[in-house]
Amino acid sequence: MTTEPHNNNTDLSLAKQQSNKPLLSLCWDQGKLLMLDQRLLPEKIVFLELTTPEEVWEGIHTMKVRGAPAIGIAAAYGVVLGAYSFQGDNNKHWLEHVLAAADHLATSRPTAVNLFWALDRMKERAAQLAKDQSSRALRNEGLLAEAVAIHREDEEVCRKIGQHALPLFNSGMGVLTHCNAGGLATAKYGTALAPFYLAQEQGISLKIYANETRPVLQGARLTAFELQQAGIDVTLLCDNMAGLVMSKGWIDAVIVGTDRVAANGDVANKIGTYSLAVLAKAHNIPFYVASPLSTIDLDTESGELIPIEERPEHEVTEGFGKRTAPSGIKVFNPSFDVTPHHLITAIITEKGIIKPPFRDNLAALLKP
């Protein structure tokens, strides 16, 4: 089922005129999760009305919602929808049902640790509610409050990341970003894109370069779209142009988001991030990673232990509606790569800027 809360047409110029607000990727509405179908952007703005955890699983798995924090938020609401589908009154059975929904949602995508972080938080809350609340309605209400808290906190966290990152960018600077770590990938503002929105609020003009980002063009379809809608100066680049624009002196800094930061500071992010970090090093350009604490995984020792998702071959051979490679060709299509910590200048979190040595500084940051 589809709804179009912003307008009843798909003409982007009209959509832009009608809405000064940023497009939100997720919205809870009276027992339903409204999920913006990001696969249809920038051509169509369509919200799906989801009422079961299975639909949320499918939405995450097929990347209708994507971006590390956003999939964590979606999964948290998926757990709530799982609780709503339980009919009996028995606490223990309610808890088993909710935990099973959470465990299933955890299989939707492997790399972004925010998914598991949000689901663990929901499971802990469910266990507490099963102990404390005798009525099913109160338990469900408590679970919804937790999902709403995860959603709201992400907006605050992203704004704080933007505030900490902003001093790194002076007016007139050229900044390169990769994939989409913007409002569409989070509750609002984004992580890597948050400083751009805050710069705009303060009248600081930056020149943003967005890589198109293979294989499914999140940079072109999403980052270019959301920055252009916000009136921020953005230029779209093909993925293989970064070396050229750096050599021309157009790029003063690179900032990307991340799906998981390992204990030693290695960072998994969209495929191509590693090449950008190498290029930045070669051109003496600072390379920043914007990361909420929920993306830092001290249980994963180093980047080589981060599970990397592989995507279907057709995304590369006929991803844009037309076959662009010979049929039967072998394809390698990992969704993410790992940037080793020694190529990273700093990791920007909601608690401030973390510099090397990352192992010690990340551990200190997350100390209870």
Interatomic CA distance for residues 157 and 218, integer angstroms: 22
* Element (DSSP H or E) covering residue 259: none
Strands (E), 143-274: 174-177, 207-211, 234-237, 253-256, 260-262, 267-270
Closer residue to ligand MRU in complex, CB, 80/113: 113
Annotated binding site for substrate, which residues? Answer: 66-68, 109, 218, 269-270
Minimum separation from the CB atom of position 326 to ligand MRU (A): 26
Sign of CA dihedral 49, 50, 56, 62: negative
Closer residue to ligand MRU in complex, CB, 109/341: 109
- Half-sphere exposure (CA, 13 Å, Cβ side) for 59? 30
User: What token pair was written down for 57?
Assistant: 């699983």
Minimum separation from the CB atom of position 165 to ligand MRU (A): 13
Closer residue to ligand MRU in complex, CB, 143/242: 242
Interatomic CA distance for residues 183 and 228, integer angstroms: 13
For 210, the 3-state DSSP assignment is strand
Closer residue to ligand MRU in complex, CB, 179/277: 179
Contact 237, 211 (CB under 8 A): yes
Minimum separation from the CB atom of position 16 to ligand MRU (A): 23
The residues, ordered by sequence, that sit 6+ positions from 317 with a Cβ below 8 Å of its Cβ are 323, 324, 325, 327, 329, 331
**Minimal CB distance to ligand MRU: which residue?**
257
Helix, strand, coil percentages, rounded to 5, for the chain: 45, 15, 40
Annotated binding site, which residues? Answer: 66-68, 109, 218, 269-270
Closer residue to ligand MRU in complex, CB, 258/300: 258
Catalytic residues: 259
Minimum separation from the CB atom of position 44 to ligand MRU (A): 18
Closer residue to ligand MRU in complex, CB, 16/159: 159
Minimum separation from the CB atom of position 259 to ligand MRU (A): 5
Long-range contacts of residues 351-357, Cβ cutoff 8 Å, at least 24 apart = 351/160, 351/293, 352/164, 353/164, 353/165, 353/168, 356/265, 357/265
Site residues for ligand MRU per CB under 6 A:
66-69, 112, 179, 181, 185-186, 190-191, 218, 257-259, 269-270, 335
Polymer length in residues for the chain: 368
Alpha-carbon distances of 104 from 109, 122, 204, rounded to whole Å: 11, 13, 45
Minimum separation from the CB atom of position 45 to ligand MRU (A): 18
Interatomic CA distance for residues 52 and 83, integer angstroms: 10
Which residues is 50 bridged to in the sheet? 33
